[in-house]
Amino acid sequence: MSLTYENIFDYEAEQFVDHYDEVFGTLNPFSIASTGIANGGKTGWNGFNIPGPFSSGGYSVSVTPSSLVEGDTFRIDFVGPPSTALYVRIGGNNITSSDFSALFTFAGQPGSLEGTANTNAQGTSFASGNQIATDAAVEGQEVMVVEVFNNSARLPSQLVASASVPIVDLNSPTTPRPVAAARTIGAGAWSSGWRYDGPPQLTQVRPGISTVTVNLVAVL
Q: What confidence tens digit (pLDDT) does each residue in 80-138 have?
A: 999 999 999 999 877 888 889 999 887 666 668 999 999 999 999 999 999 998 876 66
Three-class SS state of 218: strand
Same domain, 155 and 186: no
Same domain, 28 and 115: no
Tell me what pLDDT residue 185 has: 38
pTM score over 0.85: no
Q: Which domain holds residue 73?
A: 54-168
- Lowest mean pLDDT, pick from 36-50, 59-73, 99-113, 136-150: 36-50
Mean per-residue pLDDT over the chain, rounded? 78
Q: What confidence tens digit (pLDDT) does each residue in 182-207 have?
A: 333 343 444 456 788 999 999 988 88
Instruction: Measure the N-to-C terminal CA separation of the chain; round to a whole number of Å.
Output: 14
d(CA 19, CA 132): 33
Tell me what pLDDT residue 97 has: 87
Same domain, 116 and 133: yes
Same domain, 104 and 147: yes
Same domain, 41 and 105: no
pLDDT at 144 over 80: yes
Same domain, 59 and 20: no
Tell me what pLDDT residue 71 has: 87
Contacts of 102 (CB under 8 A, 6+ apart): 73, 129, 130, 131
Same domain, 42 and 66: no
